[in-house]
Amino acid sequence: MECQPQRVVSALNEGDTPLAARAGRGDRQAFTALVRRHQDGVFRFLLRMTGSRDEAMDLTQDTFMKAWQALPQWQPQAQFRTWLLQIARNGALDALRRKSVVAFEALDEDAVIVDHGPTPEERLHTRQRFGQLEEALRRLVPEHREVLLLREVEGLSYAQIAATLRIEEGTVKSRIARARSALLAATRRATGGIGDE
């Protein structure tokens, strides 16, 4: 039993592909390493897609349960991260369809990184701007919101986004352009055009 923590540590140093292959053969330690590596990114994506911390937590758990069940069919030519985000995306879209409207929710204070250097007024202004940006992001249609989150927050390449969403790379580029325009317009509406450059 002493070697189990060491197995998890050594598994954390492996790439996704060998871990996913081992997990697909039933290796729980390999799957644990994959969960530790990707759970924060999946949660962040789902939180911003759904706007609900509780729902994002449930969907994150559901994503990994579905991934565990589907891993025996996973093919190494599919990047594990994009495959996992496909599962998360499908869950988020199902949840949004069930709601049929996108809820507007105030940004949790613990999600804001506070620098102790600025004055209280500057911090308030920053928090308001960040909240306006989050609200503008939530106003976007899901296909625009997801493509921006995958690119700007998760840092996926155009090719990875295309694989995740199962669309052409050119479609990714045009969606990102439209999504950025829509986000800018929504932000301007939320701020009354203040801060435009």
pLDDT digits (tens, 9 = 90+) for 136-182: 788 888 888 889 888 888 888 999 999 888 899 999 999 999 988 88
Secondary structure of the chain: what % helix, strand, coil (to 5)? 75, 0, 25
Return the structure tokens found at 11: 């598994």
Q: Are 163 and 79 in contact (CB under 8 A)?
A: yes
Domains of the chain: 103-197 (1.10.10.10)
Distance (Å, whole) CA 179 – CA 148: 7
pLDDT band at 117 (very low <50, low <70, confident <90, very high): low
Checking if the pLDDT of 79 tops 50, the result is yes
29 burial (CB, 10 Å; 0-12 / 13-18 / 19+) is: middle
Evaluate the CA torsion angle 22, 26, 29, 35 in order and state its sign.
positive
Average pLDDT, the chain: 80
The larger pLDDT score, comparing residue 195 to residue 187, is at 187
pTM, two decimal places: 0.60
Q: DSSP label at 73?
A: G
Q: How far is CA 137 from the centre of its chain?
A: 13
Is 144:175 a contact under the CB 8 Å cutoff? yes
Average pLDDT over residues 2-19: 63
* pLDDT tens profile 25-55: 999 999 999 999 999 999 999 998 888 899 9
